[in-house]
Structure 1
Amino acid sequence: MLIFESIKEWISFRKSIDHTKYIGFVPTMGCLHEGHASLIRKSVAENDFTVLSIFLNQTQFPDQSDFENYPITTDEDLEIAKKEKVDAVILPTTSEMYLDDYHYKVTEDNLSMLREGSHRLGHFTGVLTVVMKLLNIVKAQNAYFGEKDYQQYELVKGMKEAFFIDTEIVPCPTERDENGIALSSRNRRLTKEQMNVVKNFPLLLSSKHLSPNEITEKLKALGFKVNYIEDTNNRRYGSVQIGDINLIDNFNLS
């Protein structure tokens, strides 16, 4: 497994890859779990060469404390990448990723204003900007995104189409634990007591017999702060907070 700590070194190496080979790309912020591993396995199965990026992107964190509390597990991440047969890992620095000091940004003025965008102002501008950079750096035929962050997936797919980016954006099903909780790097920060409460979140959110208002009231009664529960285009989205930890999830209602 090759490890590149310099974007310039990766770009130089990228030119040496046979142009007939298919490259799969899995962008992450680290703290890898089974959800990430499932994306990697799909990429390995569908491509000749798989690239993983690990970059904790500060620009997508409107709340600085959320950024500072994000778990960093680089050594463990590299072991997982090696086990899952990743061919190359890119570990860019913030200074190299943002040579422009974040003066140039990718913005979207419709979908990005809703749900997560309305509660985390500037979040999706940071996401789209860094994903645009990474897609341009890796130049993969396929890039893999988990459906847990479905709004993010839709925005990245829309950006790809709007800017004629020559990378297919591949959605991958949400991975869940034995209690139905969507796997997330933030789950590491939950206590056992909080995990016992959090399992009610996907259970209620996925109930087709309850309205968003009914789900909201039940979640509040359990001690959650509810950011939103919303049905849109036959999909239900939810965002809650327990303690200082934000969790999101979504379900297809069909």
Structure 2
Amino acid sequence: MAATKPPVIRISRVTKSYGQGDSAVHALRGPSAPGTGEPLGVSLDIEEGDYVAVMGSSGSGKSTLMNILGCLDVPTSGRYLLDGTDVGHLDESRLSLVRNRKIGFIFQSFNLVPRTTALAQVELPLAYAGVRAAERRRRALAALELVGLADRAGHKPNELSGGQQQRVAVARALVTAPAMLLADEPTGNLDSRSTAEVLAIIDRLNASGRTVVVITHEDEVALHAKRVLRLVDGAIVDDVRRAPVDGPPPALAAEVPA
């Protein structure tokens, strides 16, 4: 019998606190221990190929969870394994390496470099990883082709629409073949047409086997996910499976005739 593959993400009893003693703020706390009220931490597994939306209002802990999942911050306590690597206690240089190799980031604000072509933007993570120029170009052009922007490779951000800029950001996130795509409010700055285009791309990427985690407050975005988590006061209060991990995301499944 084949061994079961471990989850891409496994966090166990993770907490994040700011301050100490009675003045400590528990941004991520999980359920409370009976009797003492001490935070027990958040535990969560995300399987390879899943598409998870993390929802919550301001102050719910979703941004803190995103920062920990993205290796932008470390937990106060608990354990985090990303694609089998225990990242909870890595130093900053090793965290940076993990971010570059295992996580593709898509941000609300695109985070593109001004006066730099789309091709050069997508090549950046490969340059940081030491990939040779010819290979960088080949892989960056393939990523731009995947998001339908091969014909815009020589264009700079001010020559692209908001939707096109976000698609460049998606290509940049994909180019290192990361274990996880982490999208933080990816459609927050887009109009309805561009939102639909970007979500359709993310749906197709997930259907091809990419693991996707989306941080969002928009129900429209969450409807594309196979699993929806809701956070309140630093704890997961709702965890709803909307589609199987190994099937297509709901929006694509709806397009398939019965």
| Normalised TM-score (structure 2) | 0.30
Larger RCO of the pair (alpha carbons < 8 Å, separation 6+):
2
Larger helix proportion of the pair? 1
